[in-house]
Amino acid sequence: PHWLPLLGRHALVTAGPTHEPIDPVRYLGNRSSGLQGYAIAGALAQLGANVTLISGPTSLLAPSDVSLIRVETAREMEQAVMSSLPVDIAVCAAAVADWHVVNAVTSKIKKQAGTPPPSLSLEPNPDILARLSAAGPRRPALVVGFAAETDDVEANAVAKRKRKGCDWILANDVSEGTNVMGGTHNTAILITEDGVERWPLMTKADLALRLVRKIALRFGAPALA
Ligand code: C5P
Protein backbone atom coordinates (compact mmCIF):
# COMPACT_ATOMS: atom_id res chain seq x y z
CA PRO A 1 0.00 0.00 0.00
CA HIS A 2 1.01 3.63 -0.40
CA TRP A 3 0.10 4.50 3.15
CA LEU A 4 2.88 3.25 5.43
CA PRO A 5 2.39 5.34 8.56
CA LEU A 6 4.21 2.86 10.79
CA LEU A 7 7.37 2.70 8.69
CA GLY A 8 10.36 2.60 11.04
CA ARG A 9 8.27 1.59 14.06
CA HIS A 10 8.93 -1.70 15.84
CA ALA A 11 6.04 -3.76 17.14
CA LEU A 12 5.63 -7.01 18.99
CA VAL A 13 2.47 -9.06 19.13
CA THR A 14 1.76 -12.06 21.33
CA ALA A 15 -0.81 -14.52 20.01
CA GLY A 16 -2.34 -17.92 20.50
CA PRO A 17 -2.63 -20.04 23.61
CA THR A 18 0.20 -21.31 25.75
CA HIS A 19 0.60 -24.99 26.54
CA GLU A 20 1.73 -25.87 30.02
CA PRO A 21 3.14 -29.39 30.15
CA ILE A 22 1.90 -32.04 32.57
CA ASP A 23 4.14 -34.74 31.12
CA PRO A 24 5.68 -35.22 27.65
CA VAL A 25 2.30 -35.93 26.03
CA ARG A 26 -0.20 -33.90 28.07
CA TYR A 27 -0.66 -30.21 28.72
CA LEU A 28 -3.01 -27.57 30.08
CA GLY A 29 -4.22 -25.32 27.28
CA ASN A 30 -7.13 -23.22 26.08
CA ARG A 31 -9.26 -22.63 22.99
CA SER A 32 -7.41 -19.65 21.54
CA SER A 33 -6.78 -20.10 17.80
CA GLY A 34 -4.36 -17.18 17.46
CA LEU A 35 -6.40 -15.70 14.59
CA GLN A 36 -6.92 -12.25 16.11
CA GLY A 37 -3.27 -11.80 17.09
CA TYR A 38 -1.98 -13.04 13.71
CA ALA A 39 -4.35 -10.63 11.96
CA ILE A 40 -3.04 -7.74 14.07
CA ALA A 41 0.57 -8.68 13.34
CA GLY A 42 -0.24 -8.80 9.62
CA ALA A 43 -2.03 -5.46 9.72
CA LEU A 44 0.85 -3.77 11.56
CA ALA A 45 3.26 -5.07 8.91
CA GLN A 46 0.93 -3.88 6.12
CA LEU A 47 1.15 -0.36 7.53
CA GLY A 48 4.92 -0.53 7.49
CA ALA A 49 5.87 -1.65 11.01
CA ASN A 50 8.72 -4.03 11.69
CA VAL A 51 6.81 -6.82 13.45
CA THR A 52 7.84 -9.66 15.75
CA LEU A 53 5.04 -12.15 16.34
CA ILE A 54 5.52 -14.29 19.43
CA SER A 55 3.12 -17.16 19.14
CA GLY A 56 2.05 -20.05 21.26
CA PRO A 57 1.10 -23.32 19.51
CA THR A 58 -1.33 -22.64 16.64
CA SER A 59 -2.03 -24.16 13.25
CA LEU A 60 -1.71 -20.80 11.47
CA LEU A 61 0.83 -19.65 8.90
CA ALA A 62 2.69 -16.49 9.86
CA PRO A 63 1.61 -13.44 7.86
CA SER A 64 4.21 -12.37 5.33
CA ASP A 65 6.76 -9.77 6.43
CA VAL A 66 6.50 -10.76 10.09
CA SER A 67 9.27 -12.39 12.14
CA LEU A 68 7.73 -15.36 13.91
CA ILE A 69 9.01 -16.71 17.21
CA ARG A 70 7.25 -19.87 18.30
CA VAL A 71 7.00 -20.71 21.98
CA GLU A 72 5.10 -23.26 24.00
CA THR A 73 4.76 -22.06 27.60
CA ALA A 74 3.98 -18.72 29.23
CA ARG A 75 7.44 -18.55 30.69
CA GLU A 76 8.98 -19.05 27.23
CA MET A 77 6.64 -16.38 25.87
CA GLU A 78 7.71 -13.94 28.55
CA GLN A 79 11.39 -14.53 27.77
CA ALA A 80 10.82 -14.07 24.05
CA VAL A 81 8.86 -10.85 24.68
CA MET A 82 11.45 -9.36 27.00
CA SER A 83 14.30 -10.19 24.63
CA SER A 84 12.43 -8.56 21.73
CA LEU A 85 12.53 -5.16 23.45
CA PRO A 86 12.85 -2.32 22.74
CA VAL A 87 9.74 -1.85 20.61
CA ASP A 88 7.41 1.12 20.12
CA ILE A 89 4.21 -0.90 20.15
CA ALA A 90 3.23 -4.07 22.04
CA VAL A 91 -0.06 -5.84 21.48
CA CYS A 92 -0.68 -8.72 23.88
CA ALA A 93 -3.36 -10.81 22.21
CA ALA A 94 -2.17 -14.17 23.53
CA ALA A 95 -4.42 -16.22 25.79
CA VAL A 96 -1.67 -16.94 28.27
CA ALA A 97 -2.40 -19.78 30.68
CA ASP A 98 -2.82 -18.46 34.20
CA TRP A 99 -0.93 -21.34 35.79
CA HIS A 100 1.76 -23.87 35.05
CA VAL A 101 2.15 -27.33 36.52
CA VAL A 102 4.96 -27.34 39.06
CA ASN A 103 4.99 -31.11 39.38
CA ALA A 104 5.28 -31.70 35.62
CA VAL A 105 7.36 -34.79 34.85
CA THR A 106 9.56 -35.87 31.97
CA SER A 107 8.15 -39.41 31.61
CA LYS A 108 4.57 -40.16 30.63
CA ILE A 109 2.35 -40.63 33.67
CA LYS A 110 0.84 -44.15 33.59
CA LYS A 111 -2.73 -44.75 34.57
CA GLN A 112 -2.79 -47.60 37.01
CA ALA A 113 -5.94 -49.48 37.96
CA GLY A 114 -6.63 -49.12 41.64
CA THR A 115 -4.46 -46.07 42.18
CA PRO A 116 -5.91 -42.57 42.42
CA PRO A 117 -5.44 -40.15 39.51
CA PRO A 118 -2.47 -37.81 39.78
CA SER A 119 -2.85 -34.40 41.40
CA LEU A 120 -1.61 -31.34 39.59
CA SER A 121 0.07 -28.68 41.60
CA LEU A 122 -0.27 -25.25 39.96
CA GLU A 123 1.61 -22.00 40.31
CA PRO A 124 0.83 -18.67 38.67
CA ASN A 125 2.48 -17.79 35.37
CA PRO A 126 4.16 -14.42 34.87
CA ASP A 127 1.75 -11.71 33.71
CA ILE A 128 3.50 -10.65 30.52
CA LEU A 129 1.22 -7.68 29.85
CA ALA A 130 1.65 -6.30 33.38
CA ARG A 131 5.42 -6.75 33.21
CA LEU A 132 5.68 -5.04 29.85
CA SER A 133 3.56 -2.18 31.15
CA ALA A 134 5.91 -1.74 34.10
CA ALA A 135 9.14 -2.17 32.15
CA GLY A 136 10.44 1.31 33.04
CA PRO A 137 12.70 2.74 30.35
CA ARG A 138 12.12 -0.35 28.21
CA ARG A 139 8.36 0.08 28.30
CA PRO A 140 6.90 0.31 24.79
CA ALA A 141 5.33 3.73 24.08
CA LEU A 142 2.00 2.00 23.46
CA VAL A 143 0.96 -1.20 25.25
CA VAL A 144 -2.34 -2.78 24.21
CA GLY A 145 -3.93 -5.62 26.17
CA PHE A 146 -6.93 -7.81 25.52
CA ALA A 147 -9.70 -8.80 27.85
CA ALA A 148 -11.86 -11.82 27.19
CA GLU A 149 -14.91 -11.35 29.37
CA THR A 150 -18.24 -13.05 29.75
CA ASP A 151 -20.00 -10.55 32.07
CA ASP A 152 -19.83 -6.81 32.68
CA VAL A 153 -17.42 -6.55 29.76
CA GLU A 154 -16.92 -2.79 29.94
CA ALA A 155 -16.54 -2.41 33.71
CA ASN A 156 -14.15 -5.35 33.89
CA ALA A 157 -12.08 -4.02 31.01
CA VAL A 158 -11.83 -0.54 32.54
CA ALA A 159 -10.64 -2.10 35.80
CA LYS A 160 -8.22 -4.35 33.92
CA ARG A 161 -6.60 -1.40 32.12
CA LYS A 162 -5.82 0.19 35.49
CA ARG A 163 -4.65 -3.03 37.09
CA LYS A 164 -2.35 -4.05 34.26
CA GLY A 165 -0.97 -0.58 33.65
CA CYS A 166 -1.40 -0.81 29.89
CA ASP A 167 -2.57 2.05 27.67
CA TRP A 168 -5.45 0.43 25.83
CA ILE A 169 -7.60 -2.64 26.39
CA LEU A 170 -9.54 -4.30 23.62
CA ALA A 171 -12.31 -6.25 25.30
CA ASN A 172 -14.22 -9.11 23.70
CA ASP A 173 -17.39 -10.77 24.85
CA VAL A 174 -16.55 -14.46 24.78
CA SER A 175 -19.70 -15.73 26.47
CA GLU A 176 -21.19 -18.94 25.20
CA GLY A 177 -22.95 -18.44 21.90
CA THR A 178 -20.79 -15.51 20.75
CA ASN A 179 -18.42 -17.94 19.04
CA VAL A 180 -15.55 -15.45 19.35
CA MET A 181 -12.94 -17.85 20.65
CA GLY A 182 -11.84 -19.90 17.66
CA GLY A 183 -14.37 -18.11 15.43
CA THR A 184 -13.80 -15.72 12.54
CA HIS A 185 -15.70 -12.70 13.85
CA ASN A 186 -15.29 -10.47 16.83
CA THR A 187 -17.04 -7.59 18.49
CA ALA A 188 -15.02 -5.38 20.75
CA ILE A 189 -15.00 -2.49 23.15
CA LEU A 190 -11.83 -0.40 23.04
CA ILE A 191 -10.86 1.28 26.31
CA THR A 192 -8.29 4.05 25.95
CA GLU A 193 -7.08 6.88 28.14
CA ASP A 194 -9.77 8.99 26.43
CA GLY A 195 -12.75 6.73 27.03
CA VAL A 196 -14.70 3.87 25.57
CA GLU A 197 -15.47 2.95 21.95
CA ARG A 198 -17.98 0.26 21.06
CA TRP A 199 -17.13 -1.44 17.80
CA PRO A 200 -19.70 -3.39 15.77
CA LEU A 201 -19.41 -7.07 14.87
CA MET A 202 -16.76 -7.50 12.18
CA THR A 203 -14.25 -10.03 10.96
CA LYS A 204 -11.07 -10.43 12.96
CA ALA A 205 -9.17 -9.09 9.94
CA ASP A 206 -11.30 -5.92 9.88
CA LEU A 207 -10.94 -5.52 13.62
CA ALA A 208 -7.16 -5.82 13.28
CA LEU A 209 -7.10 -3.14 10.59
CA ARG A 210 -9.28 -0.83 12.65
CA LEU A 211 -7.05 -1.25 15.71
CA VAL A 212 -3.88 -0.75 13.72
CA ARG A 213 -5.22 2.40 12.02
CA LYS A 214 -5.95 3.77 15.43
CA ILE A 215 -2.41 2.89 16.52
CA ALA A 216 -1.06 4.70 13.44
CA LEU A 217 -3.04 7.82 14.38
CA ARG A 218 -1.60 7.69 17.85
CA PHE A 219 1.87 7.65 16.30
CA GLY A 220 1.09 10.78 14.36
CA ALA A 221 -0.16 9.44 11.07
CA PRO A 222 -2.56 11.71 9.24
CA ALA A 223 -6.16 10.51 9.27
CA LEU A 224 -7.21 8.50 6.23
CA ALA A 225 -9.13 10.59 3.73
O1 C5P B 1 -5.63 -11.19 33.21
P2 C5P B 1 -6.24 -11.55 31.91
O3 C5P B 1 -5.74 -12.87 31.38
O4 C5P B 1 -7.70 -11.44 31.82
O5 C5P B 1 -5.68 -10.42 30.93
C6 C5P B 1 -5.72 -10.54 29.56
C7 C5P B 1 -4.61 -9.74 28.94
O8 C5P B 1 -3.39 -9.94 29.64
C9 C5P B 1 -4.30 -10.16 27.53
O10 C5P B 1 -3.80 -9.03 26.84
C11 C5P B 1 -3.23 -11.22 27.70
O12 C5P B 1 -2.44 -11.36 26.55
C13 C5P B 1 -2.44 -10.63 28.85
N14 C5P B 1 -1.82 -11.63 29.72
C15 C5P B 1 -0.44 -11.80 29.71
N16 C5P B 1 0.15 -12.70 30.56
C17 C5P B 1 -0.60 -13.43 31.40
C18 C5P B 1 -2.00 -13.28 31.43
C19 C5P B 1 -2.57 -12.38 30.57
O20 C5P B 1 0.24 -11.12 28.92
N21 C5P B 1 -0.01 -14.30 32.21
For residue range 3-46, list pLDDT tens digits in order: 799 999 999 999 999 999 999 999 999 999 999 999 999 999 99
Annotated catalytic residues are: 30
pLDDT digits (tens, 9 = 90+) for 35-49: 999 999 999 999 999
Would you give the end-to-end CA distance of the chain in angstroms?
14
Whether 162 has a binding-site annotation, put simply, is no
Residue 31 · residue 182 · CB < 8 Å: yes
ipTM exceeds 0.95: yes
What percent of the residues of the chain are helix, what percent strand, and what percent coil, each to the nearest 5? 25, 30, 45
pTM for the whole structure: 0.94
Contacts of 57 (CB under 8 A, 6+ apart): 16, 17, 18, 19, 29, 70, 72
Distance, CA 95 to ligand 1 centroid (Å)? Answer: 6
Q: What per-residue confidence (pLDDT) applies to 222?
A: 64
- CA pair distance 225, 223, nearest whole angstrom: 6
- For residue 73 and ligand 1, the question of a CB distance below 6 A is answered with no
Atom 5 of ligand 1, nearest CA residue: 147
The whole-number average pLDDT for the span 135-145 is 98
Q: What per-residue confidence (pLDDT) applies to 183?
A: 77
Orientation of helix 35-46 relative to helix 204-218, angle to 10°: 50
Residue 147 · residue 164 · CB < 8 Å: no
Residue 91 · residue 144 · CB < 8 Å: yes
Of 75, 125, 146, best ligand 1 pocket probe by most atoms within 8 Å of the beta carbon = 146
